[in-house]
Amino acid sequence: MGVSYLKVLAFSEIFLALEIGISGMFNGLKNTKTPTIISTFSNALRIPLAYLVFYLKLDITYIWAVISFCTFLKGILNYIFLRNLLEKTLILNYNVLKKIKIWYYTFVIFYKIFD
């Protein structure tokens, strides 16, 4: 049972790191509302999905898949909203990002992975 838990949740670990990193970027940009709304929505989504798994009498592995899916959703939504925010404020210019050295390398890595 523990092995299946680790196999399912291993998928979501990269998106958990993405969520944490981008939430920190939002905090640095003084925008704490966006990651809070995304996190609240994604965590609230776990309840009906878990109930659906219970109602359909599926294996407990599916509960872990729901947790993994919601973490994936949080990471992707945070990335999309950050990218839109940066494009709107014209911070996507790499010369400006180089001045913000703390976040530059993290953003460039995420930008190159998901583009």
**Structure pTM?**
0.73
**pLDDT per residue as tens digits for the range 15-68:** 888 899 999 989 888 889 999 999 999 999 999 999 999 999 998 888 889 999
Q: Which of 30-34, 69-73, 96-100, 105-109 has the lowest mean pLDDT?
A: 96-100
Q: CA-CA distances (angstroms) from residue 20 to 49, 70, 91?
A: 23, 14, 20
The rounded Cα 56 to chain-centroid distance in angstroms is 27
Q: Distance (Å, rounded) from C-alpha 7 to C-alpha 77?
A: 23
Q: Distance (Å, rounded) from C-alpha 79 to C-alpha 20?
A: 11
Closest by CA to 78, choosing from 12, 24, 115, is 24
Q: Is residue 89 scored above 60 in pLDDT?
A: yes
Question: What's the pLDDT at 49?
Answer: 94
Confidence of residue 7 (pLDDT cuts 50, 70, 90): confident
Q: Which amino acid is at 65?
A: A
Q: Is residue 2 scored above 60 in pLDDT?
A: yes
* 62: enclosing H helix or E strand: helix 61-88
CB 113 within 8 A of CB 105: no
